[in-house]
Structure 1
Amino acid sequence: MGKNKRNAKHKATPQPSSEHNNNNGIRIPKLPDKDRRQLNQLAQSALDILQKMPTNPNEEWKNYVEVQRVLESMMQLERPLQRCAFPPNHSNVNDKARLAKMQSFNEWAKAGGVLSDAVEIAIFPGYGLGLRATRDIEAGEQVLSVPRQLMFSEEHLSEAERNIYSSLPQLTNLNLSYALVIEKMRGAASSWYPYINTLPALYNTVLYFSVEQMQQLRGTSVCSAALRQCRVVARQYITMYKCAYIQPKGSVDASVASMASLFTQFGLCYDLYRWAVSTVMTRQNLVPKEQQPSEDISALIPYWEMANNRHGKITSYYDSVTRGMACTAQEACRAGEQFFIYYGDRSNADALVHSGFVDTNNPKNYVELRLGLSLTDKLSSQRSRLLAQLNINSMRVLPAPEYISGELLAFVRVFNMSGDQLEHWCSNLERAVDLLHIDCALETDLETRTWQYLYQRLKLLIGVLEATLKETDEVQQLAALQLQEAANDEAIAKLEIDTMLLQYRQLERRILNDALLYVQERLKV
């Protein structure tokens, strides 16, 4: 999102004088003027914070905490709008509540053309809702298909509704979030109601973490990415809020009226926005556009999205002939077992930030390191030239048996080269690719410095992780026990996130520990 400069002459735009119904008969409450003035002040405060770009991890954390406190205050004042978006008697805060609504969803899906006679929706401990095989399924057998007409995307909105958000600077995939807000607030009048009515009311994405839960990620490689995700979404919402309620005097910007409509007609509030964004983050898939098949568009795919992830091969694809999503079995599945699909190669850091889950058996997991050259290094230009030739995009610590990625190894080698060694490699850049390989022929002193650097770096990372995160296996077992005994839905949701964070930290530490042992062995050679 673009930066928003503070204007001392901002004032609240006039609001409707009374509670009103939107075009679908849903009552959108008007907040008291006092509350709206407080919200405007809070939103401006958040904008002031968000305009300051953090320059180090401590500033990044402080920025996050300050913004979260403002958002929590805003959510308190927006509670009437939250209740409008999530009525207590329609709130899907647990799996049983969602499963109870699946009969009408199944009828809607089957009537719309979904073919799924081999699977049914059920609850699986540790997974929530998923797909259960109703009969034996063979590997490679087509299990279900979803027609294009049941895939929800912004294409289903009218042009007038799409214009509500089209003037706001945004990332393309945000269009689906805006479209979902509009469709959800149609209520039972929406043709998508049987589907939207089954979506979770809460998610395990970073947008739902408390400050205390986010604190548990400090010291891990994923912390910065999680904080950035929260910052981006907060900025998106506050920018839209500004368009709707805080405008320079005499502003005639087209986006103002559009965003005001999204708030006043569809009751947008932060809780509804983070729900829509989380729904899209955890469920979206790319499908060809209707009118421009050469381009993709983000869409939600009912029923198919109920399948949980297991490592294997991708067996879902968009069939341009039948115009639908087809899914085959990646492995044989017996009747009564859970049917899994593979979401694709991704690290647990990516899965945690964007999808709110951790795969404890993920062979594609890794720990991303953030390394850079020193600004005071007199040889930095030569190092930069050599690294540019290598085109290093990421530096990863990997699970066994690889441990250290070629990109990470090459960076550390270049980082530790002497002037003469840099001159040698820069004089023959075509050979630079050899630095990516473990068996590259290098001077003994350079290889020793390389592995010593990796040893010290890994030891430091593990030390920071253990110093800030002193959890044990007993703590995780206690969390699991508390999860079973939790008295209410809110406590269960909190403990689910706490358990996920414990799992993530343990998996990251395991990768780092294994890599440290490997490096130690290299130093003995």
Structure 2
Amino acid sequence: MGRKLQAKHISKKRNVGKETNKFQLQKRKELAVLTDKVLKLTSVFRTTGNTLKSWDHHLEIDTIIKEIINIENALYPKEPSVERKEKLDKYLIWLRDNGALFQGVEISEFEGYDMGLKATKDFNEDSLILTVPGKVMLSEKDAIESELSSFINVDPVLKNMRNITLALYLLLERSKSESFWKPYIDVLPEKYNTVLYFTAEELAELKPSPVLESSLKLYRSISRQYAYFYNKIQTVDMPVLKSLRDVFTFDNYRWAASTVMTRQNNIQLADGTMTAFIPLWDMCNHEQGKITTEYSEERDRSECFALRNFKAGEQIFIYYGARPNCDLFLHNGFVYPDNPNDSLSLALGISSGDAARSTRLALLSKLGLSHLTYFQLYRGEAPVSAELLAFIRIFNMNQEELSKWSNAGVPGELVSWDEGSSAAVGGELERRAHGYLLTRCKLIRAAYKDTETPPDNAHRINIKLLKQCEVQILDGAIKYLEKFLEQLPATHK
């Protein structure tokens, strides 16, 4: 009797196993169909500058991606995660054991920043704060020298895009319980504030910011990369790809891509540059200042010097470089309100119905500007970029002015602000050009609506900050243009 019961138990186990395999096979077939749809959708679309079309296209992609995430969550259920701070001790031991030096520095949590580095002693400006040896940096060089090299050598995307190579290698190392970089990977954030994690509702709140179009483009690009590599990983017979099959999900790929976007560094070497992660140093948050980190090829280490004087107990900041908030928002997941390098993109072009279109384009071409579709307004006292200045002048020329400037060789005065150039352009044209830009800025400014509802998460806080910064740029430009027009000589009115 006992044997019969045992046989029934074994039979039941086999049936459960068969049902599980059948479920997984069915779900993988569904994934193959869905990823093929994403690949086709993202391949045929071309950016037209029409935000409404881009938005409708995004919703199509987003709907499929949600289905993909649901299936992958069912196929690969996630294990309960351990909080980052509980893994810090092992991480710091790993860093010290491998030669990192950071006396007087500790990892701490800061309101509004999540984690960062805190000084436990005073540091004077330009003094050495920490050094990170090349050994612990996870780089494209490591990827090329790993088992992933067999795929890198035959894949056209990986051959030309270092950041994607680094993302795939990060996923590969994350899947290994014995990875050398496990202590580093374990303390990376589980999620990021990049637009890859925004809901459609949150993205819609970006309107009328030009960053909406850039966000949709980035989401579309990452979705396409995911679909492309999913197909390769599931179908190409290569050992390294087989080891990625159970870890390459959309959620994991956007995590890896976001890690690269927020943490990658281009290290300058004698024979070129190398893209890499720099552990510990990459926990430093941004502050306006100067670049104070350099790589010593002789010592094979990254050296970080104090941006300014830091007192014990203060957060240690570094300067990420001269980048506008649109870039920080898209690729780093934050906005820096007091950003002197901030700018706003204006989409401008010559209408196909303009009778003088070819002449205007030829004149723009002489200045190397015919390919531009976006022009910058800057924060500060001189908000109109040289390229934008030339465009508004050429755009507002009458036939006589177009003929004159078309026969003038390379019309360098059109990109210049000095009095001589302005006199050469002529007060009437200056009035039309700057009046046109003033009207354009006022129309764009009017599209920004204040919302009474306070933001309820980090994504919405960043959206609100970004739009506030854009409004400040527009307000500054409007004030500048009004003053410019007022100061034009009365004889030109």
Report the TM-score range of the alignment, normalised by the length of the smaller protein: 0.7 to 0.9
The range that moved more, 382-391 or 255-264, is: 255-264
Pairwise CA distance, 1:81: 5.4
Could you say if the C-alpha distance between residues 444 and 127 of structure 1 is closer, same or farther in structure 2, counting changes exceeding 3 Å?
same
Question: 2:172 corresponds to which residue?
Answer: 182
Aligned-residue CA RMSD (Å): 2.3
Residues 153-184 of structure 1, C-alpha deviations (whole Å, 9 max, x = no match): 13334543222344333222211001000000
Q: Aligned partners of 1:263 and 1:501: how far apart in 2?
A: 35
Residues 389 and 414 in structure 2, CA contact (< 8 A), matched pair in contact too: no
1:263-302 equivalences under 5 Å are 263-264=244-245, 266-288=246-268, 293-302=270-279
How many pairs were matched up? Answer: 459
Pairwise CA distance, 1:390: 2.2
Could you say if the C-alpha distance between residues 390 and 40 of structure 1 is closer, same or farther in structure 2, counting changes exceeding 3 Å?
same
Q: Aligned partners of 1:134 and 1:346: how far apart in 2?
A: 30
Q: Which runs of 5+ in 1 are unaligned?
A: 1-17, 20-28, 91-96, 248-254, 483-494
If you compute each CA radius of gyration, which structure gives the higher value, 1 or 2? 2
Could you say if the C-alpha distance between residues 325 and 295 of structure 1 is closer, same or farther in structure 2, counting changes exceeding 3 Å?
same
Could you say if the C-alpha distance between residues 216 and 30 of structure 1 is closer, same or farther in structure 2, counting changes exceeding 3 Å?
farther
State which of 126, 150, 165 in structure 1 corresponds to 2:136.
150
Residues 165 and 178 in structure 1, CA contact (< 8 A), matched pair in contact too: no
Q: Aligned partners of 1:116 and 1:433: how far apart in 2?
A: 53
Residues 24 and 75 in structure 2, CA contact (< 8 A), matched pair in contact too: no
Could you say if the C-alpha distance between residues 68 and 256 of structure 1 is closer, same or farther in structure 2, counting changes exceeding 3 Å?
farther
SS of residue matched to 1:129: strand
Q: Aligned partners of 1:332 and 1:504: how far apart in 2?
A: 29
TM-score (norm 1): 0.83
Q: Find out whether 1:218 has 2:212 as its counterpart.
A: no
Residues 123 and 130 in structure 1, CA contact (< 8 A), matched pair in contact too: yes
SS of residue matched to 2:132: strand
Pairwise CA distance, 1:257: 4.1
Residues 207 and 274 in structure 1, CA contact (< 8 A), matched pair in contact too: yes
Residues 163 and 258 in structure 1, CA contact (< 8 A), matched pair in contact too: no
Question: 1:45 corresponds to which residue?
Answer: 37
Residue identity in the other structure for 1:522: F
Residues 392-436 of structure 1, C-alpha deviations (whole Å, 9 max, x = no match): 456211112112222211110011111211221222234424433
Q: Aligned partners of 1:62 and 1:518: how far apart in 2?
A: 37
State which of 298, 317, 329 in structure 1 corresponds to 2:294.
317
The range that moved more, 359-368 or 391-400, is: 391-400
State which of 452, 471, 484 in structure 1 corresponds to 2:451.
471
Question: 1:520 corresponds to which residue?
Answer: 482
Pairwise CA distance, 1:288: 4.9
Residue identity in the other structure for 1:375: S
Pairwise CA distance, 1:511: 1.0
Q: Find out whether 1:230 has 2:219 as its counterpart.
A: yes
SS of residue matched to 1:139: coil
Pairwise CA distance, 1:127: 1.1
Could you say if the C-alpha distance between residues 126 and 237 of structure 1 is closer, same or farther in structure 2, counting changes exceeding 3 Å?
same
Pairwise CA distance, 1:33: 1.8
Residues 310-337 of structure 1, C-alpha deviations (whole Å, 9 max, x = no match): 0110010111111111111121111111
SS of residue matched to 1:339: strand
The range that moved more, 155-164 or 305-314, is: 155-164
1:426-437 equivalences under 5 Å are 426-437=406-417
1:368-387 equivalences under 5 Å are 368-387=345-364
Could you say if the C-alpha distance between residues 285 and 142 of structure 1 is closer, same or farther in structure 2, counting changes exceeding 3 Å?
same
Could you say if the C-alpha distance between residues 159 and 341 of structure 1 is closer, same or farther in structure 2, counting changes exceeding 3 Å?
closer
Q: Aligned partners of 2:289 and 2:263: how far apart in 1?
A: 19
Pairwise CA distance, 1:258: 6.7
Residue identity in the other structure for 2:271: S
Could you say if the C-alpha distance between residues 218 and 332 of structure 1 is closer, same or farther in structure 2, counting changes exceeding 3 Å?
same
Could you say if the C-alpha distance between residues 256 and 443 of structure 1 is closer, same or farther in structure 2, counting changes exceeding 3 Å?
farther
Residues 82 and 271 in structure 1, CA contact (< 8 A), matched pair in contact too: no
Q: Find out whether 1:415 has 2:395 as its counterpart.
A: yes
State which of 222, 228, 232 in structure 2 corresponds to 1:243.
232
Pairwise CA distance, 1:151: 0.6
Residues 101 and 198 in structure 1, CA contact (< 8 A), matched pair in contact too: yes
Residues 465 and 509 in structure 1, CA contact (< 8 A), matched pair in contact too: yes
Residues 81 and 268 in structure 1, CA contact (< 8 A), matched pair in contact too: no
State which of 365, 378, 389 in structure 1 corresponds to 2:342.
365
SS of residue matched to 2:91: helix
| Identity of matched residues, % | 32
1:484-523 equivalences under 5 Å are 495-523=457-485
SS of residue matched to 1:397: strand
Residues 399 and 511 in structure 1, CA contact (< 8 A), matched pair in contact too: yes
Residues 27 and 75 in structure 2, CA contact (< 8 A), matched pair in contact too: no
Residues 172 and 244 in structure 2, CA contact (< 8 A), matched pair in contact too: no
TM-score (norm 2): 0.88
Stretches (4+) displaced over 6 A: none
The range that moved more, 309-318 or 118-127, is: 118-127
Question: 2:365 corresponds to which residue?
Answer: 388
Residues 96-127 of structure 1, C-alpha deviations (whole Å, 9 max, x = no match): x3222211111111111111113211111111
Residue identity in the other structure for 2:72: E
Q: Aligned partners of 1:116 and 1:159: how far apart in 2?
A: 29
SS of residue matched to 2:279: coil
SS of residue matched to 2:364: helix
Could you say if the C-alpha distance between residues 106 and 220 of structure 1 is closer, same or farther in structure 2, counting changes exceeding 3 Å?
same
Residues 386 and 426 in structure 1, CA contact (< 8 A), matched pair in contact too: yes
Question: 2:435 corresponds to which residue?
Answer: 452
Residues 340 and 380 in structure 2, CA contact (< 8 A), matched pair in contact too: no
State which of 364, 386, 392 in structure 2 corresponds to 1:406.
386
Residues 164 and 262 in structure 1, CA contact (< 8 A), matched pair in contact too: no
Q: Aligned partners of 2:255 and 2:184: how far apart in 1?
A: 15
Question: 1:347 corresponds to which residue?
Answer: 324
Question: 1:173 corresponds to which residue?
Answer: 163
